[in-house]
Amino acid sequence: MRSKKLYFIVFLACLGLCQSCQKEIALVATETPIHIIPQPNALQYGEGYFSLTEDTQIRANASQKKAIEPVLAKLRRLTGLNLMVRTDEQQPMVSQITLIQNDSLQNEGYTLQINEHEIRIEAHDSAGYLYAMETVLQLLPATIFSTTHLDTSWTLPVLAIQDAPRFQWRGLMLDLSRHFFEKDYILKTIDRLALHKMNVLHLHLVDDQGWRIEIKKYPKLTEVGAWRVDQEDKHWSARLPVKAGDRATYGGFLTQEDLKEIVAYAAARNIEVVPEIEMPAHVSSAIAAYPSLSCFETPIGVPSGSVWPITDIYCAGKESTFTFLEDVLTEVMEIFPSKYIHIGGDEATKTNWKICPHCQQRMKTEQLHEIDQLQSYFIKRIEKFLVAHDRRLIGWDEILEGGLAPEATVMSWRGTKGGQEAAKQGHDVVMSPGSHVYFDHYQGPQNEEPLANGGFSPLSKVYQFDPVVASMTQEEAAHVLGGQANLWAEFIPTTDQSEYMIYPRLAALAEVLWTQPERKDWVDFSTRVKTQFERYKELGINYAESAYLITASSTVDLQRKAVNVALQNEFPDTDIRYVLGDQEIDETAISYHTPIELKETTLLKASRFEDGKPVGRVFVDTIVFHKGVGHQVQYSTPYHKSYPGAGETSLVNTLRGTKNFHDGQWQGWLEDDMEITIDLGPTELLRQVKVGALENQGPDIYFPTAIEVWVAKSGVDFKKVGAIERPFVSSGDAVLKDFVIDFEPTEVRTVKIIATNLKKSPKGTSSWLFIDEIILK
Ligand code: TNX
């Protein structure tokens, strides 16, 4: 890829990575593309190649050999080479991989020096050796990640790398409760985490919709709690309530043996598996198994879908709750040797606690005055138990409420605020903000992506994530252990979909958590990630190519009564070409450079081109011009300042909103109706009004319940020409709809449109009305 030869001088002393290499190295680049993810922290290019051959042997002691075993096994399988490991001190071999202990290196760090005869690896711990070998794999052609033996020559470029992670916690969470992932998929995920030099796998083993870990003392947790009524064909929020004893067939769980195998497999790849045992909320599955764990002991079923608010929670008053939890945690600690045990702690609605005699009694005895303090009591008590067993408690940022347990670590998900607050109080934190690293969020244009859980975190946004918040003091920053992405699985029906949501965003996250900020570079990453795609293909990963998808953003030129459509995707330097009208998109398409000016209704198609040919999904959009375009709109009820769309001309600018309600095209009214008047100046013959609306009941956006159209010749004396009604209908999906109001053709100057807001949702919350365009015909 690099056509020019590059000359690099790197002062390693400045990077402080390696004592023994504190000398200037000036090496000349080879022509080989070196595309490593995460980007190493220092890299000097050389000239020439090292070849892996029948003669190549590995010099390592027993523990070094063990450290690199997973990669070595892969190398042997793929290359068909012996790659014998020699532990004896002998004369230099003709071709060797040498592993050397270097205690001046950082934890998990390594140096890699490749010349024509030797790959020399130095590290301080087994993680360092393993990661050096992971880098070696990435210096080979992507086919090294294939699953079958390949008869080809394997060469690596001459170079030198000094590398170490920026953060010690580089995590991914899998939610096994909402979707049950089988053991094999988890093992595969561990291999893939290691490839990205990620070192924490957080398993969300407990939630309302399924208990996924065998606990020998409480067999019903899995006999009952691991199974729910199969409503997988319905949208998560549209699943019907269930009762205790309903036939429950969807689910599964991991036995203690399975989990021990997972833990060992992960440990061999420098990955710590952190179990999450939720409490006091998100535990309907446990209460379904043992109703006595709740305040009022009412029998419930394991819910098949959404539960909100979460009121079926553990009783904080009864001693038996704590006996149960200590028993469970004892078994958990026997399976998981991890330093941290995650206890959840999020989203508890404590209405039962307020009226439960046991909880009230507990508050009295413990002199707790507020209900949040009871949650804090709960968590502190569990922390004491964990600390007594030499473990550390970690929980979601709600554990801050009512006072943090003395040694707790906070996982900040509601932005980074909770994390910063905890760091201020001197606690360690892991940053996992929904804004950047929730892999259940959309990563591309919502209209073109498989159903996800709202939100928008495209690849470039994940890449922008920094676990250290700019306003943190040095002391606070030192408490940031690292970061983590969470794959919540309400909208993950298959492992294929799980892969789609994780990759390539995991590559961006890996670089965020490993590479020093000054070495991060989006433009460079976007080139390297394409090689990562090649590796994913070899590994059979169903990765997302959403970053390639073309989107349009447009502006209106009122003077010229024209729309300027800009085309882009996430990657810089994409060859985008387009055609206007009915024509197929082929070699004759026009190269896109600057926004396209349109003055009439036009069908626009665009595609990414490679080697002169269209590849990937074709972008198709019709820009509809109509009689209202560019005319003045007066608002009798102003739109909400949080959703201004594109401003005063938003409703008559031809530009349509997408299912992503943050896309800048939607104007929103909260509880208010929309009442607007459009002045068509002198007059126009009108026969139809279309009102473009969005419904997404999850975030309380509802279609209008009625629309009225009034017209006037002069701007006064309006007469009603049409109206429709549309009563509320429950729906789980985001839906776009144009409401059409036809009427007798009428010569008009002003048209008034009133869309009625539902005002209060069935949940009792304030409802939004979202409108993107008023189309006048
Ligand atoms: C909030 S993040 C939750 C999860 C949901 C997730 C969906 C957190 C600690 N709690 O229970 O699955 O949102 O994005």
Residues 723/707, Cβ–Cβ less than 8 Å: yes
Residue 723 has pLDDT above 90, yes or no: yes
Query: Per residue in 591-621, pLDDT tens?
Result: 999 999 999 999 999 999 999 999 999 999 9
Residues 722/752, Cβ–Cβ less than 8 Å: no
Q: Is the CB of 236 under 6 A from ligand 1?
A: no
Tell me the CA–centroid distance for residue 488 and ligand 1, in Å: 7
Q: Is the CB of 413 under 6 A from ligand 1?
A: yes
- Say how far apart CA 64 and CA 66 lie, in whole Å: 5
pLDDT at 5: 34
Q: Is the CB of 347 under 6 A from ligand 1?
A: yes
3-state helix, strand, coil in the chain (%, to 5): 25, 30, 45
Nearest CA to ligand 1 atom 6: 488
| Cis preceding linkage at 433, omega within 30 | no
- Token representation of residue 756: 């009625």
Residues 488/441, Cβ–Cβ less than 8 Å: no
Assess if CATH 3.40.50.2000 describes domain 171-521. no
**Closest ligand 1 atom, residue 282 Cα:** 11
Query: Per residue in 627-637, pLDDT tens?
Result: 998 888 999 99
Tell me the CA–centroid distance for residue 166 and ligand 1, in Å: 27
Residue 366: alpha-carbon gap to chain centroid? 40
Mutate to test the pocket of ligand 1, among 209, 284, 484, 486 (most ligand atoms within 8 A of CB): 486
Nearest CA to ligand 1 atom 7: 488
pTM here is 0.88
Residues 108/200, Cβ–Cβ less than 8 Å: no
**Closest ligand 1 atom, residue 441 Cα:** 14
607, containing H or E segment: strand 602-610
Mutate to test the pocket of ligand 1, among 346, 399, 414 (most ligand atoms within 8 A of CB): 346
Nearest CA to ligand 1 atom 9: 346
- Say how far apart CA 133 and CA 75 lie, in whole Å: 10
**Closest ligand 1 atom, residue 207 Cα:** 11
Query: Per residue in 11-49, pLDDT tens?
Result: 333 333 333 333 333 333 344 589 999 999 999 999 999
Nearest CA to ligand 1 atom 8: 346
Tell me the CA–centroid distance for residue 542 and ligand 1, in Å: 24
Domain ranges of the chain: 6-163, 171-521, 550-623, 632-776
Q: Is the CB of 396 under 6 A from ligand 1?
A: yes
**Closest ligand 1 atom, residue 488 Cα:** 12
Q: Is the CB of 237 under 6 A from ligand 1?
A: no
Tell me the CA–centroid distance for residue 60 and ligand 1, in Å: 45
pLDDT at 416: 95
pLDDT band at 732 (very low <50, low <70, confident <90, very high): confident
- Token representation of residue 108: 């998990």
pLDDT at 445: 87
- Say how far apart CA 219 and CA 577 lie, in whole Å: 61
**Closest ligand 1 atom, residue 438 Cα:** 14
Nearest CA to ligand 1 atom 10: 346
pLDDT at 12: 34
- Say how far apart CA 774 and CA 777 lie, in whole Å: 10
Mutate to test the pocket of ligand 1, among 205, 488, 491 (most ligand atoms within 8 A of CB): 488
Tell me the CA–centroid distance for residue 133 and ligand 1, in Å: 36
**Closest ligand 1 atom, residue 453 Cα:** 14
Q: Is the CB of 340 under 6 A from ligand 1?
A: no
**Closest ligand 1 atom, residue 455 Cα:** 14
Nearest CA to ligand 1 atom 5: 488
Nearest CA to ligand 1 atom 12: 488
Tell me the CA–centroid distance for residue 421 and ligand 1, in Å: 20
Q: Is the CB of 702 under 6 A from ligand 1?
A: no
Nearest CA to ligand 1 atom 14: 488
Distances (CA, A) of 525 to 195, 405, 567: 16, 40, 21
**Closest ligand 1 atom, residue 396 Cα:** 9
**Paired strand residues for 10:** 25
The CATH superfamily holding the domain 632-776 is Galactose-binding domain-like (2.60.120.260)
Tell me the CA–centroid distance for residue 440 and ligand 1, in Å: 10
Tell me the CA–centroid distance for residue 137 and ligand 1, in Å: 36
Query: Per residue in 361-408, pLDDT tens?
Result: 999 999 999 999 999 999 999 999 999 999 999 999 999 988 898 899
pLDDT at 417: 93
**Paired strand residues for 49:** 157
Tell me what the mean pLDDT of segment 211-230 comes to.
98
Q: Is the CB of 211 under 6 A from ligand 1?
A: no
- Token representation of residue 364: 């009295």
Tell me the CA–centroid distance for residue 95 and ligand 1, in Å: 52
**Closest ligand 1 atom, residue 413 Cα:** 2
pLDDT at 248: 97
Backbone φ/ψ region at 406: left (φ over 0), alpha (ψ -120 to 50), beta: alpha
Name the average pLDDT for the chain: 92
480-487 and 551-557 as β-strands: parallel, antiparallel, unpaired? unpaired
Q: Is the CB of 488 under 6 A from ligand 1?
A: yes
Query: Per residue in 149-166, pLDDT tens?
Result: 877 889 999 999 999 999
Tell me what the mean pLDDT of segment 658-675 comes to.
93
pLDDT at 90: 66
The matching CATH number, chosen from 3.40.50.11690, 3.40.50.720, 3.30.590.20, 3.30.379.10, for 6-163 is 3.30.379.10
The residue with tokens 């600018």 is 653
Residues 119/136, Cβ–Cβ less than 8 Å: yes
Edge-first strand order for the sheet with 562-568 is 551-557, 562-568, 596-598
Tell me what the mean pLDDT of segment 438-456 comes to.
92
Query: Per residue in 165-208, pLDDT tens?
Result: 999 999 999 999 999 999 999 999 999 999 999 999 999 999 99
Tell me the CA–centroid distance for residue 314 and ligand 1, in Å: 18
Tell me the CA–centroid distance for residue 393 and ligand 1, in Å: 19
Tell me the CA–centroid distance for residue 681 and ligand 1, in Å: 51
Distances (CA, A) of 70 to 45, 531, 610: 27, 22, 36
**Paired strand residues for 58:** 85, 97
* Active site positions, annotated: 207, 282, 347
Assess if CATH 3.30.420 describes domain 550-623. no
Q: Is the CB of 440 under 6 A from ligand 1?
A: yes
pLDDT at 730: 87
Mutate to test the pocket of ligand 1, among 278, 347, 487 (most ligand atoms within 8 A of CB): 347
Q: Is the CB of 491 under 6 A from ligand 1?
A: no
| Cβ contacts of 175 within 8 Å, gap of 6 or more | 204, 207, 486, 487, 488, 489, 490, 492
pLDDT at 663: 84
Nearest to 283 by CA among 208, 346, 395, 180: 208
Nearest CA to ligand 1 atom 2: 413
Query: Per residue in 234-291, pLDDT tens?
Result: 889 888 999 999 999 999 999 999 999 999 999 999 999 999 999 999 999 999 999 9
